Amino acid sequence: MANTVSLDETDVPAEQKTPRAGPNGARFGFAALTCALAGLLAQFPLLRNPLAYYTDDAAIQILPTWFRLGEQVRSGSWPVTLDVGSWMGGNLVLESLFGVWNPVNALVWVFVSIMPDLALAGDVVRSAAFSAIALGSYLLFREYGARSWAASVTAAPLPFCGSLFFFDAVKWPAALLAFVWIPYLWWVTRRMAKGKGNAVWVFVLGVLAVTAGNPYGMLGVCGVLFAVLIETAVNRRWRVTGEVFLASAAIAAVAPLVYLPLLLSSQVTWRSAGGSPRNTGELTPNLSDLLNASFPDYVPEIPNVGDSAVFFCWFAVPLAAWFDWSVVRQRRRELTGCLVFAGIFLLLAIGPSDLWMFRWPLRLLHYGYLGLAVLLAVLLSAGLRTDHLRRRTMIATALLLFCSYLGWAANPAPSMLRRQVLTVLGLAVLSGTAVWAFRRLGTRGLVAVVHAGTVGTFALQVHWFVDGHTPPPYYYPTNIAEARAHFAHRYQGAVFQISDLGGIGPPRPGPEAWHDLMPGSFYQATGIESINAYTGMGFSALSNAVCLSYNGSACVDAYSALWQRVPGTEAPLANLLRVDTVVVQRRLIPEPVVPAGWHVVRRTDLITVLERTVAAPRTNGRLSWASPNVRVTANTVLDNRHETVRFSRLDSRSGHLLLARLAWPGYTAKMGDRQLPTHPGPAGLLQVDIPADAPNSSDIRISWSPPGIRIALICAALGALTTTALAAAQAHQRRHAALRRASR
């Protein structure tokens, strides 16, 4: 008989070597340990670099926008679908990543908006997300039959796998919040499939995952539902398969609320709603990278990646030779879902870099790792094999040496050799200690070694890949109150900033660089309207007119474009945009030519600031131009989505109005019950046409709503009704089954 050390053997009484808590107490204890350890590990990067989480898109787009949205929610506006003053970055439904329909996201915005420091707020949000992911993973692993200790040691490192930590957590925290819901959705869906839950929880968590707004999260939702569907079908539980299908359809019915406006608006953006698959290699791992998933020092040969982006957990490969793989064969039907889920996302992760609207497949790697982690927790729960000790030791050693060779071949620089040797020796010692501890001490020893190894390997990764220069210290502003006080009287009205954010200060900008310039969407967070804002979607007509980039940078040609008179209006573009202040980075234009009607109010080594000599006449709305035969007598903004214009016409010819609003799809203009034509005008500004046969004086009501919103709301309502009916049917069936059991 094979000499296998498992949790049920009498020669190694593992249960006697675990803490003597009751079953519920032990489960709660391991769950609490998992959350606490994840929260603790989240602080490690901050010990190395206090701004480790305050970089890239997180610092110049996500957190400032969360702050602005939080203020709007606190003032009574939710959902916030359009922010006119953010211009290209202001169509929040189109941007989708902010998850404007998600109530938990709204709570996050409110929290960020009441915190005194954006960096600190981001740290707290990430720490909470890491703990939530660890807990959700723990519950999922337990649902698949993993022992509580095995679920704990596997769930704790999952939030810190390379792709999730170094990319979603550090750079794109909105994607991190979307991933939070995936293990919980999987958990409740499988519980429903086993008759221990109902469709309501599946729908609620599915809706939270979908409305988080991240398209990769949406793929995760599809993967979870498909995996459980296949699992129930393989086990020939056809009634349950039907229930999972109906629950999936109900969740899918909510997707148009999030993504239909994006698809219907893509024609005015930089992003296409289609496109052929292609592979540029950007953020695209390969199969050999995945073989090094247990090596914390391994840096894949992917352009612009300088950290352990494909890391999974330290013990997956080193302990592979010691697992009882017969468990997978014996439970293959039960484990179908996790195998399908892992297979789908690992294949996508090594697939083409651009597939439809999705790019950068590395961002899907941690979804595949979640599926692998389920399998890993189940394998650990069966214990470690100790028969054929010499053979297993040789296999484990060969695996480590082979993977270390792959790591060396990918980066054979002599400077990396010391790190590579340290890693392979460390993993050998850790895995050997884990096997010894399990043989001598049972699960208590194994838990201690695996958790200690997780802490140690992550500490090494932080030491190697997070320091005072990684991520780059741009020293973005963190205190919005101070920034508001600083800029309160510095710039007047709407600001247009001509700068290259990548070229501010050698080699990286210090805090003083942001005394005059603001990166990304920071102007909006400080309450200043700026044409510049961070956007992932853009608005082609405006960006082409003034060469605006995704991060709010503007090129040299933007300066001359502002002063050019727009044909048909005889007004410069700056007037149509209602710009009052122009801030010019002197590195781009050392001595800007001052146009008529403007003057220089400030000049430093970094910037030149121009303002209007005489303040331009302004209405209370956003009207910026009317044709000569139209006299506007009143213009009022009711909110971001609604505006009114009262006009009188001097003759019977048709007239035109231009508003300092981008002409996003979804705008309507009505004169009484009559709908007026609206379309993009110069630079993509909203143009309203007044037909010749219209009354000579009237009020025009201008409003915007996300395109397709009505059909999206109807679909969402149908999804909710389907869920209600399914939950009622499940409750009836369980009552009927209970009565039958009672009558026996």
pLDDT digits 0-9 by tens, 12-71: 333 333 333 345 666 789 999 999 999 999 999 999 999 999 998 999 999 999 999 999
% pLDDT > 90, the chain:
82
Tell me which of 10-24, 236-250, 410-424, 515-529 is least confident.
Answer: 10-24
Q: Domain ranges for the chain, please list them.
A: 29-267+282-465, 480-612, 623-707
Report residue 69: phi and psi, to 5°.
-65, -40
**Confidence check: pLDDT of 302 > 60:** yes
pLDDT tens digits along 446-460:
999 999 999 999 999
Mean pLDDT, rounded, for 316-327: 96
Q: How confident is the model at residue 2 (pLDDT cuts 50, 70, 90)?
A: very low
Mean pLDDT, rounded, for 190-210: 96
**Confidence check: pLDDT of 6 > 60:** no
C-alpha 400: how far from chain center? 34
- Tell me what pLDDT residue 513 has: 76
- Tell me what pLDDT residue 327 has: 95
- Tell me what pLDDT residue 508 has: 60
Burial class (CB in 10 A: 0-12, 13-18, 19+), 212: buried
How far is the C-alpha of 436 from the C-alpha of 453, rounded, in Å?
Answer: 14
Tokens describing residue 44: 């490690």
Task: Report which DSSP code applies to 469.
Answer: T
Mean pLDDT, rounded, for 401-416: 87
**Confidence check: pLDDT of 1 > 60:** no
pLDDT tens digits along 327-342:
999 999 999 999 999 9
Higher pLDDT, 615 or 20: 615
Burial class (CB in 10 A: 0-12, 13-18, 19+), 633: exposed
- Tell me what pLDDT residue 32 has: 96
Mean pLDDT, rounded, for 670-695: 96
Mean pLDDT, rounded, for 313-324: 97
Mean pLDDT, rounded, for 631-639: 95
Higher pLDDT, 174 or 501: 174
- Tell me what pLDDT residue 22 has: 44
**Confidence check: pLDDT of 372 > 60:** yes
- Tell me what pLDDT residue 652 has: 86
- Tell me what pLDDT residue 230 has: 97
Q: How confident is the model at residue 414 (pLDDT cuts 50, 70, 90)?
A: confident
How far is the C-alpha of 250 from the C-alpha of 244, rounded, in Å?
Answer: 10
**Confidence check: pLDDT of 7 > 50:** no
Burial class (CB in 10 A: 0-12, 13-18, 19+), 116: exposed
Q: Which amino acid belongs to residue 69?
A: L
Find out whether 694 and 635 touch, Cβ atoms under 8 Å: no
**Confidence check: pLDDT of 726 > 60:** yes
Q: How confident is the model at residue 472 (pLDDT cuts 50, 70, 90)?
A: low
Higher pLDDT, 469 or 143: 143
% pLDDT > 70, the chain:
94
Angle (nearest 5°) at CA 361 between 359 and 362: 130
Q: Report the chain's mean pLDDT, rounded to a whole number.
A: 92
Mean pLDDT, rounded, for 712-732: 97
Q: How confident is the model at residue 468 (pLDDT cuts 50, 70, 90)?
A: low
Angle (nearest 5°) at CA 262 between 261 and 267: 110
Question: How many CB atoms neighbour CB 665 within 10 A?
Answer: 18
Nearest Cα residue to 514 out of 473, 554, 543, 555: 473
**Confidence check: pLDDT of 618 > 70:** yes
Three-state SS for 133?
Answer: helix
**Confidence check: pLDDT of 515 > 90:** no
Mean pLDDT, rounded, for 80-88: 96
Mean pLDDT, rounded, for 272-282: 76
**Confidence check: pLDDT of 505 > 60:** no
Higher pLDDT, 489 or 508: 489
- Tell me what pLDDT residue 181 has: 98
**Confidence check: pLDDT of 506 > 70:** no
- Tell me what pLDDT residue 507 has: 55
pTM recorded for the entire structure: 0.93
Q: How confident is the model at residue 383 (pLDDT cuts 50, 70, 90)?
A: very high
CATH of 623-707, one of 1.10.10, 1.20.1050, 3.10.450, 2.60.40: 2.60.40
